[in-house]
Amino acid sequence: MAHAAGGQSPINVTHVLKGIDFPASKQDLVKHAQSHKADDEVLDTLKKMPDQEYGTMADVMKGYGQAH
């Protein structure tokens, strides 16, 4: 199955994390993304993010950018 261009787009991340409760740990983010059928690229990047509490979606995007 071909990956769509822009698979690493932050829009995909916000989509798969929609409705998550903050603060959230990295593990919470990964579990929530998995339950929303995130693709492997998004999950791999989430797993590489710093292991910390994320208070807002902006915090998540910052960590995601660093892990990307």
Task: Tell me the per-residue pLDDT of 18-46, one tens digit each, with 9 for 90 and over.
Answer: 999 999 999 999 999 999 999 999 999 99
The pLDDT score that the predictor gives to residue 8 is 54
Question: What's the burial of 43, exposed, middle or buried (CB within 10 Å: 0-12/13-18/19+)?
Answer: middle
Q: Name the pairing type of β-strands 24-25 and 53-54.
A: antiparallel
The pLDDT score that the predictor gives to residue 62 is 94
Kindly tell me if the per-residue pLDDT of 6 is higher than 60.
no
**What's the chain's average pLDDT?**
88
- pTM of the model as a whole: 0.84
The pLDDT score that the predictor gives to residue 12 is 87
Phi first, then psi: what are they for 3, rounded to 5°?
-85, 135
